Amino acid sequence: MKRITILLSTCSLVSSALFAQTTDKPNIILFLVDDMGWQDTSVPFYENHKTLLNERYHTPNMERMAQMGVRFTEAYACAISSPTRCSLMSGMNAARHKVTNWTLELNQQTDETSEVIELPDWNYNGIQPAESHINNSTPITSFPQILKDNGYRTIHCGKAHFGARTTPGENPLNMGFDVNIAGGANGAPGSYLGTKNFGEGSPFAVKGLEKYYGQDIFITEALTREALREINKSVELKKPFYLYMSHYAVHTPYDEDKRFSENYRGKYDKQLQTTLNEQEVKYAALVEGMDKSLGDILDYLSSHPQVAQNTILLFMSDNGGLAQSHARQGMEDRDQNAPARAGKGSAFMGGVREPMMVYWPGITKGNTVCKQRIIIEDFFPTILEMAGIKDYNTQQTIDGTSFVHVLKNPNSIQAHTLVWHFPNLWGESQNKEEGYGAYSAILKGDYHLIYTWETQQLRLYHVTQDIGEQQDLANQHPEIVEQLSKELSDYLKERNAQRPSLKATGKPIPYPDEVCIKK
């Protein structure tokens, strides 16, 4: 792959670099945010105009990146953290890797119980290194391992959450990373505060940042400092690097980031038509703190132009924003990800639609918008293609599709059918009406079909015209329901996806197309 030599004029780069990196491979930074809704930013990701929710937040560095690169308005992940992260690392759809709910302890499921359905045996021990033999897990060849095998220095910084505690997959060093900063089995920080040792002693304690214990520092800042130190080390070593900047922000608990909270305290919100409450103040400050981290990375690149001209930056979130009223202000499942419906854990757009941007020097055009449909497993083949790595083997079958083509040619948008599979019960809500509970779904063209396993209900929404998914069109378009039910069922069967059973009969619940046939 030829070295990219176009300077980043949109970044106001200085002309002298402290280090000259001699590599013909591009550096790659994946900046992943935890639980960030697609509208939790001042950058619009709904069509090309700001909503009232965008006006709540102040994310100048996301705005800066949007000016540098391309925004994707059709980016999707799983509705829960671990499935997304396992799909990212493996390139597999959740229906194939079967890590379909969040993971934590060895051999412990994290599902709620039901009097109606029996949940299937899923891979609650997460993904594991290819040579591992751990029950209820999926051994994979991760793309960081492939990057490492091809000369990259691979850096993990922040949340991992793709392997159960005490398994090899808990530790990013076993999953292809040369460096692990604060990554483990925990899916949230016990505390964001250095004064509380980042939750030391709790099941969600963040380990690896002991040097900051007792300090008045927010974990987002500590992680960023460590990430920049490792970037600098890679440059000094003259090695191409992959940085997985995987923030714990903006997941609960909503500890106060005092650097930014006063920006929102007492602020009148146009969407809510009232002042922000304390929870929402703290949440908005978490978002701005995350944005400051992005800005620090952009500033580093600005001051090291020879590094910057050869560094690709991707921005993504791992699932929809939390839409439960115990944590967020406003009408539950309506305000938090508006105009999309519901949030984290739900089959509706609010649970799976994400903010996504890409900046690739010399390739992407600044301040552009792309409507190419993307799902999280697509990052696996994309990043390897960006790195110029074509000859590689994986233990697993890859479901993802590279989107490099649309970065190089924005007019080359291709149809992309997306599937979600969650035969589980998320702990924070079982409101089936709002898309929670065990479900599978398919998005093809304008239509989103949701199948609720417990009730065997099929719902159909025209998401292009009805992003809030308020009008169920299943009865009006039975032919579309039948077609999409068949495609969804075939997809699940091909991957031997697990499905729930009815406790009353002990029999597996019918596939979506079998329900259509009965009706």
The whole-angstrom separation of Cα 79 and Cα 427 is 13
Per DSSP, helices labelled H in 237-336 are: 278-303, 305-308
- At 152 the three-state DSSP class reads coil
The whole-angstrom separation of Cα 41 and Cα 29 is 20
Question: Which secondary structure element, helix H or strand E, spans residue 117, and what is its range?
Answer: strand 117-118
Structure token pair of residue 170: 């808990």
| Amino acid at the residue 450 | I
| Amino acid at the residue 381 | P
3-state secondary structure 405-462: HHHHCCCCCCCCCEEEEECCCCCCCCCHHHCCCCEEEEEECCEEEEEECCCCEEEEEE
CATH pick for 23-414 out of 3.40.50.720, 3.20.10.10, 3.40.50.2300, 3.40.720.10: 3.40.720.10
The whole-angstrom separation of Cα 209 and Cα 194 is 9
> Nearest Cα to 318, choosing from 251, 395, 259, 373?
251
The whole-angstrom separation of Cα 513 and Cα 519 is 10
* pLDDT for the residue 8: 36
For residue 477, how many C-alpha atoms fall within 13 Å in the half-sphere facing its CB?
17
Report cis status (omega within 30 of 0) of the bond before 250.
yes
| 315 contacts: CB under 8 Å, gap ≥ 6 | 31, 33, 62, 65, 294, 355, 356, 357, 358
* pLDDT for the residue 13: 31
Domain segments of the chain: what residues?
Answer: 23-414, 419-518
The whole-angstrom separation of Cα 305 and Cα 7 is 7
* pLDDT for the residue 5: 32
CB atoms within 10 A of CB 415: 8
> Nearest Cα to 137, choosing from 425, 379, 395?
395
Pairing, β 241-246 against β 153-158 = parallel
3-state secondary structure 159-218: CCCCECCCCHHHCHHHCCCCEEECCCCCCCCCCCEHHHHHHCCCCCCCCCCHHHCCCCCE
CATH of domain 419-518: 3.30.1120.10
Low-confidence ranges of the chain (pLDDT < 50): 1-19
Check: CB of residue 104 under 8 Å from CB of residue 95. Answer: no
Structure token pair of residue 235: 């440059």
